[in-house]
Chains A and B, each alone.
Chain A
Amino acid sequence: GESVGLHLPTLSVQEGDNSIINCAYSNSASDYFIWYKQESGKGPQFIIDIRSNMDKRQGQRVTVLLNKTVKHLSLQIAATQPGDSAVYFCAENIRGGSQGNLIFGKGTKLSVKP
């Protein structure tokens, strides 16, 4: 089965609130993680990444947290906007994996209510 999964398949938040999207991974050899945003009918768009030697990384309005102890990854979006509505995927790279392939999680659909 897939080694990357998500706790919540859908998430609905009010505009202006903070959003937290979670992801569980099972492969302890994973050393690089990426969050992607995919809008309907489009390809995935890079949001933020984190290496396994870090536990937190911040971008503009987004923060990724990595907890290697429990193999958990989260994406926090501050002051969620209607334009944030999309499906969010986490992806992992397994250290030494074949040609650096990424394994994608199932995705969480984020809906932002105005």
Chain B
Amino acid sequence: GAVVSQHPSRVICKSGTSVKIECRSLDFQATTMFWYRQFPKQSLMLMATSNEGSKATYEQGVEKDKFLINHASLTLSTLTVTSAHPEDSSFYICSARDRAGGYNEQFFGPGTRLTVL
């Protein structure tokens, strides 16, 4: 149980295009989903927190107009990188918190490798 999937697993796009990444909780309902970015050999940096049916809360320094987050249902959140540039190339990871779950355990997706040419 507690499986989180992401799609796509890797994407290569041209500079200036937009890319959408999906995060799904497969066997549980997630009231809260988190989006992280991870650069090579670095730790996970929280970008934003999304709650089902409400606007996402962005961390300081993360542009909400560039990284659009939609959490339309209890099992799906999407991150859209708009007008992507090479500096947006990174490993994007989502996590989900089980609505009925324990203390604050987050279940992570497998990540999406974004490369912007």
Residue of B at shortest CB range from A103? B46
Distance of A97 Cα from B34 Cα, bound (Å): 14
Q: How many A-B residue pairs have CB under 8 A?
A: 58
In the complex, the answer to whether A99 meets B49 with C-beta atoms within 8 Å is: yes
- With a CB–CB cut-off of 8 A, which chain A residues contact B104? 32, 93, 100, 102
In the complex, the answer to whether A49 meets B105 with C-beta atoms within 8 Å is: yes
Residue of A at shortest CB range from B32? A99
Distance of A34 Cα from B95 Cα, bound (Å): 14
B8 at the interface (CB under 8 A from A): no
A83 at the interface (CB under 8 A from B): no
Interface size on B, residues (CB 8 A): 26
Most chain A CB neighbours (cut-off 10 Å) among B6, B43, B105, B113:
B43
Q: Which of A11-19, A39-47, A55-63, A68-76 contacts B (4 or more CB under 8 A)?
A: A39-47
Residue of A at shortest CB range from B49? A99
Distance of A43 Cα from B107 Cα, bound (Å): 9
Enumerate the 3 nearest inter-chain pairs by beta-carbon distance, A residue then B residue, closest first: A43-B108, A100-B104, A43-B111
For this complex, 26 residue pairs linking A to B, each with C-beta atoms less than 8 Å apart, are A2-B43, A32-B103, A36-B108, A41-B113, A42-B111, A43-B6, A43-B109, A43-B111, A44-B44, A45-B108, A46-B105, A46-B108, A49-B103, A51-B103, A93-B103, A99-B32, A99-B51, A100-B32, A100-B97, A100-B104, A101-B34, A101-B46, A101-B49, A102-B34, A102-B46, A106-B43
